[in-house]
Amino acid sequence: MSTRFLSYLVNPRDLADALEKQKSHPPANDESRIVPISAEWYLPNVARKGYEEFTKCRIPGARFFDVDAIKDPNSPYPHMLPDGKIFAEHMSKMGIRRNDIVVVYDSPHIGIFSAPRAAWTFRVFGHPNVHVLNNFKLWVELGLPTEGGERKKDWEETNYPVVDLEKELVVDYEDMLGLVDEGAREGVEIMDARPVGRFWGEEPEPRPEISSGHAPGAISMPFTELIDPTTKALKPASQLRNIFLSKGIDPSPATDKVLMCGTGVTAVVIETALQEAGIEGKRKVYDGSWTEWAQRVPKDSKLIVKEEE
């Protein structure tokens, strides 16, 4: 059996139907499998913990993508992208094959939040077939199948290939230093997914050692504005497009979109929404995001903005 979902975002009933068909007609050893993957993750100031919640309620057969573990172990910043070798080691332990159709989901409590980041990580390492469930909160509310308890390893480890990351999808600190220069900003729009209060330096960051504010030239684009307040799913494409246009975002391929947030997680909610809305231009994520920026820029410089430019 080989299933291909028609869009990057997958609705709960379509995934449930596909998993039921796969259960009835298991794919042969060399065929693509649909593998649901939980990337449930919470900010450090939230009492919930991703894996603990995963053991309470998950899609049957799901595997856990640990955002805090699948990272660069040598970076001082949270969950920075690993190299290809580390990513491959984790995928091998999770029993993921290169031809698997992975559908990533996140929290039943807060909806779309961390799944886009994990799905983007798969894409950065060139995994051919990646999707985001829109979303697990709806899955649970629809009464679709769930299970709980400690996840027993019922798969064989694989030999996932080592692939270099696609640098065109990622922006690093040095890139950002160039982008915030007035002369280099033309043709680039920087969007920040954090709440407005943190963007303007009026509210604290969830990590106490980090001051709030924003990078010069950044546009405030709180990811919550892209989420339906009731379902916590991404809003329909037409609404998303209108939101971006109302912020002055150029929908043409002439302008690159650089996305940031606190630590590179919710920035990818914007990346996903841009894709869904049909907003063109290269989409790149500043992996270190505000946590790295606020700690590395000179404190006496104008690279942390807290007032109208």
- 62 and 19 assigned to the same domain: yes
- 193 and 275 assigned to the same domain: yes
- 282 and 172 assigned to the same domain: yes
| Sequence-distant (≥ 6) Cβ neighbours of residue 48 within 8 angstroms | 42, 107, 109
Q: What is the per-residue pLDDT for 211?
A: 86
| Residue finishing a domain among 107, 141, 175 | 141
Question: What are the tokens at 281?
Answer: 């231009």
Q: CB count, 10 Å around CB of 216? A: 16
Q: Characterize the bridge pairing of strands 188-192 and 63-64.
A: unpaired
Annotated catalytic residue 57: no
Average pLDDT over residues 42-65: 94
- 84 and 204 assigned to the same domain: no
Domain count, the chain: 2
Whether residue 286 lies inside any domain: the answer is yes
Average pLDDT over residues 219-244: 97
Query: What would the pLDDT profile of 93-129 be if each residue is shown by its tens digit?
Result: 999 999 999 999 999 999 999 999 999 999 999 999 9
> What is the rounded distance in angstroms from the CA atom of residue 211 to the CA atom of residue 295?
8
> What is the rounded distance in angstroms from the CA atom of residue 61 to the CA atom of residue 44?
27
Whether residue 161 lies inside any domain: the answer is no
- 230 and 125 assigned to the same domain: no
Instruction: Assess whether pLDDT exceeds 50 at residue 2.
Output: no
Catalytic residue among 19, 138, 240, 261: 261
Report the mean per-residue pLDDT for the chain. 93
64: closest CA among 164, 177, 150? 150
Whether residue 304 lies inside any domain: the answer is no
Over the range 268-297, which residues count as b (16 or more CB within 10 Å of their CB) and which as e? Answer: bbbbbbbbbbebebebbbbbbbbbbbbbeb
Whether residue 159 lies inside any domain: the answer is no
Instruction: Assess whether pLDDT exceeds 60 at residue 65.
Output: yes
> What is the rounded distance in angstroms from the CA atom of residue 131 to the CA atom of residue 118?
10
- 270 and 216 assigned to the same domain: yes
Query: What would the pLDDT profile of 163-181 be if each residue is shown by its tens digit?
Result: 999 999 999 999 999 988 7
- 132 and 171 assigned to the same domain: no
- 21 and 129 assigned to the same domain: yes
Average pLDDT over residues 244-254: 96
- 213 and 287 assigned to the same domain: yes
- 190 and 247 assigned to the same domain: yes
CATH number for the domain that contains residue 111: 3.40.250.10
256 phi and psi, to 5 degrees? -75, 145
**CA torsion 13→15→16→21, rounded to 10°?**
120
Whether residue 223 lies inside any domain: the answer is yes
> What is the rounded distance in angstroms from the CA atom of residue 70 to the CA atom of residue 90?
7
CB 123 within 8 A of CB 112: no
CB 157 within 8 A of CB 107: no
> What is the rounded distance in angstroms from the CA atom of residue 138 to the CA atom of residue 204?
31
Long-range Cβ contact pairs of 25-34 (< 8 A, separation 24 or more): 25/1, 26/1, 27/1, 27/2, 30/99, 31/1, 31/2, 31/99, 32/2, 32/3, 32/99, 32/100, 32/101, 32/129, 33/97, 33/100, 33/101, 34/3, 34/100, 34/101, 34/103
Q: pTM value? A: 0.95
- 241 and 181 assigned to the same domain: yes
Domain that holds residue 41: 9-141
Instruction: Assess whether pLDDT exceeds 80 at residue 184.
Output: no
Whether residue 308 lies inside any domain: the answer is no
**CA torsion 227→228→233→234, rounded to 10°?**
-50
Q: What is the per-residue pLDDT for 309?
A: 52
- 130 and 91 assigned to the same domain: yes
Q: What is the per-residue pLDDT for 236?
A: 97
| Residue finishing a domain among 141, 176, 206 | 141
Query: What would the pLDDT profile of 252-282 be if each residue is shown by its tens digit?
Result: 999 999 999 999 999 999 999 999 999 999 9
Query: What would the pLDDT profile of 133-159 be if each residue is shown by its tens digit?
Result: 999 999 999 999 999 999 999 999 999
Whether residue 248 lies inside any domain: the answer is yes
Whether residue 301 lies inside any domain: the answer is no
Residue 308 binned pLDDT confidence (cut-offs 50, 70, 90): low
pLDDT, greater one: 3 or 116? 116
Long-range Cβ contact pairs of 236-241 (< 8 A, separation 24 or more): 237/276, 237/277, 237/278, 238/277, 240/273, 240/274, 240/276, 240/277, 241/277, 241/278, 241/279
| Residue finishing a domain among 99, 126, 141 | 141
